[in-house]
Amino acid sequence: MNEQEIGARVRDGIIGTIRGTGEIGEAAVGTLASAVQRALNETGATGATAADLAVGAAKGVIRTAGGLVGLSALTAADSVSTTAGAASQAAASIGNAAKGAVVGAVKGSSDAGVDTLEAISKTSRSAVSEASAVGADITAAAVGAVEGAIAVAKDTSVSVEDAAAAAAGGAVDAASSIGSAAAERVKAALQGTIRGVKVVLKTTVE
């Protein structure tokens, strides 16, 4: 099973959940994470292959969120006020999708021997790049990825600070591949404290 196949499997596993509510709320994060973790565990992949599949799984979550939730809401909005409301809902959904993707990818790939910080960084990067690909809010995806890293770190041997830094670094690197303006927006969104954790940007991009 390759990256595209694992992404498709995750999409199929969560479409029903998203359609049932019309959005991805905080309560659905655990469901998304479980779908990602289950899909990764079912492949039996290890090492670098498992890490690559985790990236595909994250893309599957973000693509599903973008296709079924916020973007359709934005298209249907018929006034400035409803457009703003739809945009806010879309951003929240993308953020929660990214959070669930990171949690599930870390749990699923760590079982296969993938380094936790590597899994966090790669999944965060893929969440932001895929959000851009589907026209969704990349800053929401970045913040959601950091929130997911902080949440899942509590079940691992890494500190929440290191987890947050890994997610932030992956998000900024992905945004930098999109453009300098995108990178600045993501950096600004991640500055300060998220979920009570001071985020320190550690990225290869200046």
pLDDT at position 148 is 96
Residue 2: which region, alpha, beta or left (left: phi > 0; alpha: psi -120 to 50)? beta
Q: What is the pLDDT of residue 25?
A: 79
Q: What is the DSSP string of 7-67?
A: HHHHHHHHHHHHHHHSS--GGGHHHHHHHHHHHHHHHT--HHHHHHHHHHHHHHHHHHHII
For residue 206, is pLDDT > 50?
no
- pLDDT, tens only, 17-75: 666 655 677 878 888 888 888 888 888 888 888 888 888 888 888 888 887 655 544 44
